[in-house]
């Protein structure tokens, strides 16, 4: 299946570098003149850059269809060429990468448009309007990097993008770096950014090791060559295990799986469009893409499937249980994302690559929608609570008597919301579409993709199916809980009372995404499997069409409806009236709820198990090894004192004793001999004459008597 060999790209395929260049141009343009041009210009340029990338991706899609799904490699730049080894910036256009391109640029464009409206308020609430430009520069950089990731033709370019999006994630989580997640001045956001970066570093180590091992055993990093080597059996079994497990470590970092998922919930410190784009729809799915891309490696050993699938399924259930106990609207969605990523990893893990990729795309639709919707909710509450700018003008006329000003008010806390259904109807209805899709109610998109995964799980391993179904049940439950808490009942704070519907730039992407969430499922309608066949061009024999099982479909629908009904019983029937009130679940199952609310103390366990010992080790290394041993002992005692000892020895006995002794001895010798000889120098001529006489006599005597 060496598809990319010697294909001569023509027509639209040669456009492929522009998916990276358009965002890059956008960011450079904003970098150069954005500050002087104002928000309209910045937002337009950035959105246009993403939109043009989408247009190119769409052109590639049609070109690929005209090419009957045949993959095309587009060599672009040489990078590293050593003998046989050649890793360059080469683009790969196949059905898998084009799918990712479409998702990244499509969702990306919508989120750019949304952000143009959202950030207008956010920068004002954070009292730093100049940050508007910076935000869109980062966002465009992210699109460019993500495009490099999904379009690379070898693991090296994939890694470049992988690191690039990690950097953008870090920059955007810490976007309000001088504040805490609740908006007050502090270091909380930069701490979250750091946490994300470090957790990803652990994963990236795994990915790098996988790349090194791949190169070691196959002498190549180009996808087709690597897969060919693996499939032909040249690669030893241990190497496949090493590659897949190291890769899995990379996936757990980037796609937030157990044990490295802890960074993703904290990443909600970033502005909401970032949470939607990077931490829900695109970047975090890179791990899923990586496994799907490396399908021939993962499928070459059956046991590998088990490991990956169970990591995913475990994450899905674990994170879903945490999501139930959260109060922060974005935290619920964050854990939901971790859980859904678990579904995808489980799917690609058990070899259902098409199902995993399908869920990836559907999840990108509805989770982006949910995050953007939550952003709209937060903004509405914030604007109701604390009107600024134009809002403040209106607020003057209608003077409300309220008392929740002054002390810390968290516009993200669902306890502060309630009754938003009537106040922000557009947001509510679009949010409902996302929630139903996530809950898996037919015919919304999430139902189809989740159903495929569940069906595959049933074929793969029954216990895996049970775990995933439980996770799906919890998913529907926490979404129900969220919707009841946020949109129903009576407003529980002034902010919710006076909530304002968001402007059209925010609502338009919501509507588009709501449409996609509703009808996206038909992309891979059971029996037809258009999406699956589309991916089959890339996956080849690794693709299998998932059959549609009525039992599974009806079961999961029933579970989802039951979960929603339970959530209505708990939260909808008797809505919470005050902010301070205990959660009904807390009354019913206090121990379990405390655990879910405290995220099962994973952060604390990591703190005690890893961070503290690590800090102790670091302190030990710094204090004992570096300072006391190296500095105090080795440098000061051994090196410095040793040097001083040697110099002292050289100075005292050697220089002063021997060298000076020789010089002084010579001087003293000259002095002494001069003193001795000066006795002869009497100054009396007759003495000299006497010596001359004595000399003559002795010479003569010698001559005569010899």
Partner 1 sequence: MVPVQYFVGLSAILFTLGALGVLTRRNAIIIFMSIELMLNSANLLFVAFARAFEALSGQIFVFFVMTVAAAEVAVGLALIVAVFRTKDTINIDEVSSLRG
Nearer to partner 1, 2 or 696 (CB): 696
Backbone angles phi, psi at 662, to 5 degrees: -65, -50
User: Which region, judged by CB under 8 A, interacts with partner 1, from 22-30, 306-314, 315-323, 675-683?
Assistant: 675-683
The region that residue 71 occupies, defined by phi over 0 for left and psi between -120 and 50 for alpha, beta otherwise, is: beta
CB nearer partner 1, residue 2 or residue 699: 699
3-state helix, strand, coil in the chain (%, to 5): 75, 5, 20
Secondary structure (3-state) at 4: coil
Q: How far is the CB of 669 from partner 1 (least distance, A)?
A: 18
Which C-beta is closer to partner 1: that of 130 or that of 679? Answer: 679
Among 676, 685, 703, 704, which residue sits at the site for partner 1 (rule: CB under 8 A)? Answer: 685
DSSP code at position 583? -
Q: Which of 646, 700 has the CB closer to partner 1?
A: 700
Q: Is 615 in the site for partner 1 (CB under 8 A)?
A: no
The smaller minimum CB distance to partner 1, of residues 68 and 686, is found at: 686
Per rule CB under 8 A, is residue 700 in the interface with partner 1? no
CA-CA-CA-CA torsion for 483, 516, 113, 345, nearest 10 degrees?
80
Residue 621 or 689 having the CB closest to partner 1: 689
Q: Where are the alpha helices (DSSP H) in 299-389?
A: 302-324, 329-349, 353-385
In the region spanning residues 398 to 457, those forming contacts with partner 1, defined by CB under 8 A, are: none
Can you name the residues that pair with 413 across neighbouring β-strands? 328
**Member of 185, 390, 400, 684 binding partner 1 (CB under 8 A):** 684
Least distance from C-beta 663 to partner 1, angstroms? 24
Provide the phi-psi class of 233: left if phi over 0, else alpha when psi is between -120 and 50, else beta.
left
Distance of closest approach, residue 649 Cβ to partner 1, in angstroms:
42
Pattern 623-662, partner 1, x by CB under 8 A: ----------------------------------------
Complex with partner 1: residue 625 or 674, whichever CB lies closer: 674
- Write the DSSP assignment of 72-127 as a string of letters: EEEEEEEEEEETTEEEEEEEEESHHHHHHHHHHHHHHHHHHHHHHHHHHHHHHHTT
Q: Which of 403, 591, 683, 703 binds partner 1 (CB under 8 A)?
A: 683
Asked if residue 686 binds partner 1 (CB under 8 A), the reply is yes
Q: What are phi and psi of 94, to 5 degrees?
A: -135, 180
The set of residues, in sequence order, having a beta carbon less than 8 Å from that of 450 and lying 6+ positions away, is: 343, 359, 440, 472, 556
Task: Please count the residues of this chain forming the interface with partner 1, following the rule CB under 8 A.
Answer: 10
- Choose the stretch contacting partner 1; rule: CB under 8 A; options: 372-380, 404-412, 502-510, 678-686: 678-686
Buried b / exposed e across 120-144, counting CB within 10 Å, b at 16+?
bbbbebbeeeebbbbbbbbbbbbbb
693 binds partner 1 (CB under 8 A): yes
Asked if 614 interacts with partner 1 (CB under 8 A), we say no
Q: What residues contact 324, with CB distance under 8 A and at least 6 apart?
A: 474, 477, 478, 481, 585, 593, 596
CA–CA distance, 231 with 221 (Å, rounded to integer): 15
Q: How far is the CB of 692 from partner 1 (least distance, A)?
A: 10
One of 588, 690, 699, 700 touching partner 1 (CB under 8 A): 690
- Among the residue ranges 147-155, 339-347, 568-576, 686-694, the one whose residues contact partner 1 (CB under 8 A): 686-694
- Closest-CA residue to 555 (of 479, 662, 442): 442
Nearer to partner 1, 527 or 685 (CB): 685
Of 678, 703, 704, 706, the one binding partner 1 by CB under 8 A: 678
Residue from the set 178, 647, 681, 698 that interacts with partner 1 by CB under 8 A = 681
Shortest Å distance, C-beta 676 to partner 1: 13
| List of residues contacting partner 1 (CB under 8 A) | 678, 681-686, 689-690, 693
């Amino acid at each position: 299946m060496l598809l990319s060999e010697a294909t001569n790209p023509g027509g639209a395929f040669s456009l492929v570098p522009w998916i990276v260049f358009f965002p890059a141009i956008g960011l450079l343009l904003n970098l150069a003149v954005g500050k002087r041009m104002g928000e309209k210009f910045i937002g337009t340029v950035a959105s246009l850059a993403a939109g043009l990338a989408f247009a190119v991706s769409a052109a590639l899609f049609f070109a690929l269809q005209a090419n009957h799904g045949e993959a095309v490699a587009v060599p672009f730049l040489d990078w590293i060429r050593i003998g046989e080894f050649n890793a360059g910036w080469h683009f790969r256009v196949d059905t898998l990468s084009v799918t990712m391109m479409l998702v990244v640029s499509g969702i990306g464009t919508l989120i750019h448009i949304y952000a143009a409206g959202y950030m207008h308020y956010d920068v004002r609430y954070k009292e730093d309007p100049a940050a508007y430009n910076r935000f869109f520069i980062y966002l465009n950089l992210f699109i460019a990097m993500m495009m490099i990731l999904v379009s690379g033709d070898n693991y090296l370019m994939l890694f470049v993008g992988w690191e690039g999006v990690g950097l953008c994630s870090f920059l955007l989580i810490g976007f309000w770096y001088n504040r805490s997640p609740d908006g007050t001045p502090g270091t909380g956001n930069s701490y979250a950014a750091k946490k994300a970066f470090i957790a990803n570093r652990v994963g990236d180590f795994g990915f790098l090791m996988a790349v090194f091992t791949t190169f070691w055993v196959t002498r190549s990093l180009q996808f087709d060559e690597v897969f060919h080597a693996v499939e032909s059996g040249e690669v030893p079994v241990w190497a496949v295990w090493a590659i897949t497990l190291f890769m899995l470590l990379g996936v757990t970092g980037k796609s937030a799986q157990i044990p490295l998922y802890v960074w993703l919930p904290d990443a909600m410190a970033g502005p909401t469009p970032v949470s939607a784009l990077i931490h829900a729809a695109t970047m975090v799915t890179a791990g899923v893409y990586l496994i799907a891309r490396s399908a021939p490696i993962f499928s070459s050993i059956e046991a590998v499937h088990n490991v990956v699938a169970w990591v995913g399924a475990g994450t899905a259930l674990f994170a879903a249980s945490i999501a139930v106990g959260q109060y922060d609207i974005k935290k619920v969605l964050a854990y939901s994302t971790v859980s859904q990523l678990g579904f995808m990893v489980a799917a690609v893990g058990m070899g259902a690559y098409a199902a995993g990729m399908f869920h990836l795309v559907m999840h990108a639709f509805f989770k982006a929608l949910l995050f953007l919707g939550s952003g709209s909710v937060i903004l509405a509450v914030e604007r109701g609570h604390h009107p600024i700018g134009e809002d403040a003008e209106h607020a003057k006329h209608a003077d409300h008597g309220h008392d929740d000003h002054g002390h810390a008010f968290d516009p993200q806390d669902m306890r502060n919301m309630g009754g938003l259904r009537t106040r922000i109807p557009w947001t509510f209805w679009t949010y409902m579409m996302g929630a139903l899709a996530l809950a898996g109610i037919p015919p919304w998109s999430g139902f189809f993709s989740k159903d495929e995964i569940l069906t595959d799980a049933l074929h793969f391993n029954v216990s895996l199916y049970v775990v995933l179904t439980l996770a799906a049940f919890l998913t529907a439950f926490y979404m129900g809980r969220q919707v009841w808490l946020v949109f129903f009942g009576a407003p529980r704070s002034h902010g919710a009372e006076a909530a304002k519907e968001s402007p059209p730039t925010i609502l338009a992407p919501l509507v588009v995404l709501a449409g996609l969430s509703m009808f996206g499922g038909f992309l891979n309608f059971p029996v037809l499997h258009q999406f699956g066949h589309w991916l089959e061009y890339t996956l080849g024999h690794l693709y299998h069409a998932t059959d549609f099982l009525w039992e599974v479909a009806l079961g999961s629908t029933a579970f989802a409806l039951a979960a929603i009904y339970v959530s209505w019983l708990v939260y909808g029937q008797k809505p919470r009236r005050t902010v301070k009130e205990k959660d009904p679940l807390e009354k019913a199952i206090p121990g379990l709820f405390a655990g879910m609310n405290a995220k099962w103390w994973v952060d604390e366990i990591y703190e005690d198990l890893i961070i503290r010992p690590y800090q102790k080790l670091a302190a030990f290394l710094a204090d004992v090894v570096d300072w006391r041993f190296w500095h105090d002992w080795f440098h000061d005692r051994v090196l410095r004192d040793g040097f001083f000892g040697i110099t002292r020895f050289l100075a005292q006995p050697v220089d002063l004793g021997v060298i000076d002794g020789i010089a002084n001895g010579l001087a003293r010798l000259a002095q002494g001999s001069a003193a001795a000889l000066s006795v002869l120098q009497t100054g009396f001529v007759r003495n000299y004459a006497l010596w001359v006489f004595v000399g003559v006599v002795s010479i003569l005597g010698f001559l005569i008597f010899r």
